[in-house]
Structure 1
């Protein structure tokens, strides 16, 4: 059977998890994966999934990848600053190919979010609307891994740093968001026109994260709140590019204003189980 579902960014962290979820209920020969590297294609095809080569900057390859596809998961590009034109290429190819549904991974409350990250998501959402292609918005909140991924460094230095103040984050594990994407792509219910605001069931502050890390590490870990410019500077010192450091610092400031807190529990309702407790994700990272 020819593939009918295409996952873009399939070799990335989220894309791999979406494939894992889809394969629980969907025959591998009905799934295709867009990848950029031959070695990634080999990994994908070992699962029985069809690999199609191409990237978001290559319209011809995108057009070829869309052949026979009914449903498309457009995982947002990792190239902040280049996302909007890259996403337009994917949407254009899907429209020409007659794709019947695009699911797009956007940002929590993108249309009202103060985060600088929201701008390209808003632009993409608008382009989707203009395209006329039926689509569903998966407005993903924060990945818990974004915060707990720095636990090792926090233990080494005795503190987490950020600019979030007492702001709270309704984080969920990346696997939770992957399960939501798979649920939407395989649902018998019509999905076109739906907007899902997705976030974890429980929220945490970075002080909460520091306290839990203290328990697990057996040594005192603090949270140090910094002015936005100082935090961005610290991230640059740690080796991040200036532009990306600025985006992360801006995201912390937005979170301090409630931009990453969401109590609707839409994500757990969609996946049919509670979201992964942030404490569990932290414990897994430290293990």
Structure 2
């Protein structure tokens, strides 16, 4: 079924880069174990529309028209998503997938499968469906579910330059670019002798350790200033204005005592 979808994509787009990206995302969607796209006659059109529009490709308009011709509700869902505040994050995820980021590829495939689930009633109208999909991007069952990137990831990494992080104790912090530099350096050092997948897992482990240290440091309320917890040297500053989050401006793993 997936092979048939990929053939449809190649028939329309040829063998170029966009075609390869779309088919990678279709493959990732199939890997979720859900035959959603295969069971929908508009699956290939949905994948082409999502990918081309996110990539800013000129095929976007034609892809949306083709999708609308087969399933107007699916096209309306995607159009609503494109107009939402979360579209930038969606597009960024697709672009990361296009550059070979496996985590982003898996997340995009899962999003594509969830977006066009046949027979699923759209909650709160099409816009509500789009927002809920965007909110679920990147759900991986890992520490990444607690992270909302506020800047792009470091090149060749899965770590955003800055991000919001939700802690198990319910607290939220914003992690400044100064605090992620050492994490990126660690990932870069691992990349010298390891596969991209191994580097991703190492970064995931590091972020989970970082989150656990922050959770310990703030379990009885937010702690400000420089502290060392669970082998992490941390510095947290209070919010600069109402509505902003406490900021982690320094984070460095010193090692277990």
TM-score scaled by length of structure 1: 0.34
Q: Higher helix fraction: Structure 1 or Structure 2? A: 2
TM-score normalised to structure 2 length: 0.37
